[in-house]
Chains A and B, each alone.
Chain A
Amino acid sequence: MIYKETGQYKSSYKSDHAIFPLLQDKIAFSTLMFIAFLIIPFVINSYWEKAILVPFLIFSLAAIGLNILTGYCGQVSLGTGGFMAVGAFSTYKIMTYFPDMNIMIIILISGLITAAVGIIFGLPSLRIKGFYLAVATLASQFFLVWLFNKVPWFYNYSDTGQITVSERTMFGVPVTGAEAPSYATYLFCLVLVVVLSFAAKNLIRSKMGRSWMAIRDMDIAAEIIGVPPLKTKLSAFAISSFYIGVAGALYFAVFLGAIEVTESFDIMTISFPVLFMIIIGGLGSMLGSFLGAAFVVTLPIGLKFLMVDMVGLSAVTAKHFEITIWGLLMIIFLIVEPHGLARLWSIAKEKLRRWPFPY
């Protein structure tokens, strides 16, 4: 009864095509936005900011990016870490060359640069598919990280290869650097994530998104009905890399502030976790990207909190448990619900629709 759509008539194409066609969804979404924009900024503290919310927002963006490529266009990629590094280092280089440029513009330009790099590394996808493509993108991961570590120009010849962000402001409030208040970094990421998510959602519903899905479902058939594989695959790589690049830029500039490429953009710290996010969240689902990111970011922290602070286990025992539980959950998840958290949500919606009647 909660998800009752009876009585909600659509009288125009516009209302029929709305992102949230149901009134209930609209209300839920508006409430969420209200809380995110008008309540959280007033109650946020630096722990919630640095440990949970900002990483969640940034990884959501990365997950959306990878979901566009893998979930919607069917091109498996393991190069997320490398592309995020491109975003981060572009931001750093632009910041140092143009000290007066607005940080928002810098981050968007970094996204565009990453998109260009993504197109280059997407070229092999025209010839190779599936696991072979995964291996090719893995090469991009290692190559890009190696490049940023090897060529001193990228880190402005600093002794240690570390890049450090300097302070940048939006409307007079610092959003990068150590002095940035929690609400500012949070809102900065939130605005970018909300705007870019809407853009992504609409792209997916457009002609471009439909051609991505056609390629994903059967590329030969898609080609026969007139979907150009070159343009489609490369556009998926470009747009996916744009999102991942923006995520990388935020990861460096807003979240960590100082980065070392080999450690921060390692395949085990970025590429695999982001892939897990979209698998756990749900391939080919916007909601799934968010749910997956939330799951992967908060699970270790939640488990640690539960085991160390509540039960009182030692930090190292808790860590061993965490690693084990994490692995177990992955396996259980893939067996019980291979379509991810997004699918669970749609099952829940179905149930709520009929509630309280079982049928």
Chain B
Amino acid sequence: MRIKQLLIGMTASVIAVSSYVEMAIADLKFPMLVYRTGAYAPNGIPNADGFVDYYKMINARDGGIGGEKILHPECETGYKTQVGVECYEKNKKDAMVFQPMSTGITYQLIPKATADGVTVYSTGYGRTSAANGKVFKWIFNAPVTYWDGASIAVRHILKNNLGNIKGKKIALVYHNSAYGKEPIRTLQTLSKKHGFKLMLLPVDHPGQEQKATWLKIRKGRPDNVLMWGWGVMNQVAIKSAASIKFPMDKFIGIWWSGSENDVLPAGQGAHGYKSLTFNAPGSNYQVHADIKKYVHDKGEASGDGSHFGTVLYNRGLFQAMVQVEAATVAQKIHGTSKITPAMYRDGMENVNLSAKRLEELGFKDFAPPFKNSCENHGGSGLAAVQQWDAKTKKWNMITEYMYGDSEVVQKLIAEDSKKYAAEQKIAERCG
């Protein structure tokens, strides 16, 4: 009897699974690959909350995008590539855009999404050379790439050293993965150009073990430390730096290594720590007021709502805003509110977030304006430096938004994307 029941149950679930996968969805689908569990959850949670709150706000305030409700099914990846693939396959049907929030999953999805005709938007992460739209038709990484980031950090150091860093030593503490290795090539090129010495210090996943790394820093005495970290690694690195009394204002993280979660555990020791950013901190923007009014005050905040206005939450808002804006643009171009994934890509390619448009969207002075084009999927390439004030527990912007070393970066992008195009036999687009 039992076996029979089991068999019936199994058959039923198989049928249910297959019918679910085939199910078509009418609204605009923005699947989310999130990680609210695992070693990267401290960073994954605020970011995902930003996304969800923005989508909910658009649904509540505007009734969706051009009248089409946003569906945002979450799929928990735990930052694992294999699970990311499963999530992608499950949600790819009629999906507008995927935001993998992981360089590993982005690399995984680049060929797949290109073959399936699905847009991938890796905001300021993923494969840097995807900025070359001539080769990467479906992949976008605006507004700024890691290689811009590396050169902006070096530019900041240059400025603090009156333009001369010859013979200085810069260490890169990086997550020993595709993500962390991204800036190495750029930094090597820049070290030749500016004459600084580069010290490479990998930290293995998940990044809790950094004793050896910081011992090397104590011995090697680099003048500056750059960090490409994510998740638990950030907290541990900042704590370790504080405990060896490394001067915090000489320690600069990439935009993924500069959130409240990363600095708070180190307490006062983290005072003065710097990181790059491409969006402003704080919660005094129109969009925050709208989210408060339409989402939080109704008790519909994603998660526990405690991340409102934090760096990564704001970044989530920014990422979601660009994705929604792309849909709006696509609707305008194609004259229909019911856009297909292919139309959505056209929208993403023609996104033009001018200062005026940002203001209309409630993001006045929140981020520098940028626009995509057929050739350029990498946005403006602008980022600023923010500094942590441990006394007031606040991030403060200390520089203007600045460009990286576009001469170096553009050359590297052209080289790398050419190599990829040759490997994958892709013909260049855009005339």
* A interface with B by C-beta (< 8 Å): 45-51, 55, 149, 159-162, 164, 166, 177-179, 256-258, 260, 262-264, 266, 269, 300-302, 304-306, 309-310, 314-316, 318-320, 323, 348
User: What are 12 inter-chain pairs, A to B, with CB distance below 8 A?
Assistant: A55-B82, A159-B182, A162-B107, A166-B423, A178-B115, A256-B81, A256-B108, A258-B108, A263-B205, A314-B74, A315-B36, A316-B36
Smallest Cβ-Cβ distance to B113: which chain A residue: A178
A67, B401: Cα distance in complex, Å: 58
Contacts A159-B184, A160-B181, A162-B178 hold; do A260 and B104 have CB atoms under 8 A apart? yes
A49, B184: Cα distance in complex, Å: 36
A179 in contact with B81 (CB, 8 Å)? no
Say which one of B85-93, B233-241, B339-347, B365-373 lies at the interface with A. Answer: B85-93
Measured CB to CB, the closest approach of chain A to B120, in angstroms, equals 12
Partner of A262, one of B74, B176, B423: B176
A257, B115: Cα distance in complex, Å: 13
A-B contact count (CB 8 A): 105
Smallest Cβ-Cβ distance to A352: which chain B residue: B3
The answer to whether the Cβ of B375 comes within 8 Å of any Cβ in the partner chain is: no
B107 in contact with A160 (CB, 8 Å)? yes
A50 in contact with B85 (CB, 8 Å)? yes
Contacts A47-B21, A319-B76, A348-B3 hold; do A177 and B205 have CB atoms under 8 A apart? no
B86 in contact with A301 (CB, 8 Å)? yes
Smallest Cβ-Cβ distance to A309: which chain B residue: B20
Contacts A50-B85, A314-B74 hold; do A164 and B423 have CB atoms under 8 A apart? yes
Q: A178-B112, A348-B3 are in contact. List 5 more A-B contacts (CB 8 A).
A: A161-B181, A162-B178, A178-B111, A263-B80, A269-B80
* B interface with A by C-beta (< 8 Å): 3, 13, 16-18, 20-21, 34, 36-37, 74-76, 78, 80-83, 85-86, 89-90, 92, 103-104, 107-108, 110-112, 114-116, 127, 176-178, 181-182, 184-185, 204-205, 416, 423-424
Measured CB to CB, the closest approach of chain B to A243, in angstroms, equals 20
A262, B86: Cα distance in complex, Å: 20
A256 in contact with B85 (CB, 8 Å)? yes
A178 in contact with B86 (CB, 8 Å)? no
B89 in contact with A160 (CB, 8 Å)? no
A108, B82: Cα distance in complex, Å: 24
A275, B37: Cα distance in complex, Å: 24
Smallest Cβ-Cβ distance to A180: which chain B residue: B115
Q: Tell which of A161, A256, A260 has the most Cβ of chain B within 10 Å.
A: A260
User: In the complex, which residues of chain B have a beta carbon less than 8 angstroms from the beta carbon of A177?
Assistant: 111
A149 in contact with B81 (CB, 8 Å)? no
B416 in contact with A159 (CB, 8 Å)? yes
* Majority secondary structure of chain A interface residues (helix, strand, loop or mixed): helix
User: In the complex, which residues of chain A have a beta carbon less than 8 angstroms from the beta carbon of B17?
Assistant: 305
User: In the complex, which residues of chain A have a beta carbon less than 8 angstroms from the beta carbon of B86?
Assistant: 50-51, 301
B20 in contact with A315 (CB, 8 Å)? no
A315 in contact with B74 (CB, 8 Å)? yes
A315 in contact with B75 (CB, 8 Å)? yes
Measured CB to CB, the closest approach of chain B to A253, in angstroms, equals 13
B36 in contact with A319 (CB, 8 Å)? yes
A262 in contact with B205 (CB, 8 Å)? yes
A263 in contact with B185 (CB, 8 Å)? no
Smallest Cβ-Cβ distance to A51: which chain B residue: B86
User: In the complex, which residues of chain B have a beta carbon less than 8 angstroms from the beta carbon of A305?
Assistant: 13, 17, 20
B75 in contact with A262 (CB, 8 Å)? no
User: In the complex, which residues of chain A have a beta carbon less than 8 angstroms from the beta carbon of B74?
Assistant: 314-316
A306, B16: Cα distance in complex, Å: 10
Nearest 3 A/B pairs, CB to CB:
A178-B111, A316-B36, A160-B178
B37 in contact with A257 (CB, 8 Å)? no
User: In the complex, which residues of chain A have a beta carbon less than 8 angstroms from the beta carbon of B16?
Assistant: 310
User: In the complex, which residues of chain A have a beta carbon less than 8 angstroms from the beta carbon of B112?
Assistant: 178, 257
Smallest Cβ-Cβ distance to B415: which chain A residue: A159
User: In the complex, which residues of chain B have a beta carbon less than 8 angstroms from the beta carbon of A179?
Assistant: 115
A136, B416: Cα distance in complex, Å: 40
User: In the complex, which residues of chain B have a beta carbon less than 8 angstroms from the beta carbon of A301?
Assistant: 86
Measured CB to CB, the closest approach of chain B to A155, in angstroms, equals 10
Smallest Cβ-Cβ distance to B127: which chain A residue: A160
A314, B3: Cα distance in complex, Å: 32
A51 in contact with B178 (CB, 8 Å)? no
A159, B127: Cα distance in complex, Å: 10
User: In the complex, which residues of chain B have a beta carbon less than 8 angstroms from the beta carbon of A269?
Assistant: 80, 82
A160, B178: Cα distance in complex, Å: 4
User: In the complex, which residues of chain A have a beta carbon less than 8 angstroms from the beta carbon of B108?
Assistant: 256-258
Measured CB to CB, the closest approach of chain B to A197, in angstroms, equals 23
B424 in contact with A316 (CB, 8 Å)? no
User: In the complex, which residues of chain A have a beta carbon less than 8 angstroms from the beta carbon of B89?
Assistant: 46-47, 49-51
A159 in contact with B177 (CB, 8 Å)? no
User: In the complex, which residues of chain A have a beta carbon less than 8 angstroms from the beta carbon of B21?
Assistant: 45, 47-48
A51, B111: Cα distance in complex, Å: 17
B423 in contact with A318 (CB, 8 Å)? no
B181 in contact with A159 (CB, 8 Å)? yes
User: In the complex, which residues of chain B have a beta carbon less than 8 angstroms from the beta carbon of A264?
Assistant: 81-82
Smallest Cβ-Cβ distance to A179: which chain B residue: B115
A47, B90: Cα distance in complex, Å: 6
A177, B176: Cα distance in complex, Å: 25
Measured CB to CB, the closest approach of chain B to A178, in angstroms, equals 4
A179, B113: Cα distance in complex, Å: 10
A319, B34: Cα distance in complex, Å: 11
A164 in contact with B176 (CB, 8 Å)? no
B81 in contact with A51 (CB, 8 Å)? no
User: In the complex, which residues of chain B have a beta carbon less than 8 angstroms from the beta carbon of A50?
Assistant: 85-86, 89
B111 in contact with A262 (CB, 8 Å)? no
A47, B204: Cα distance in complex, Å: 32
A47, B37: Cα distance in complex, Å: 24
Measured CB to CB, the closest approach of chain B to A307, in angstroms, equals 11
A348, B206: Cα distance in complex, Å: 43
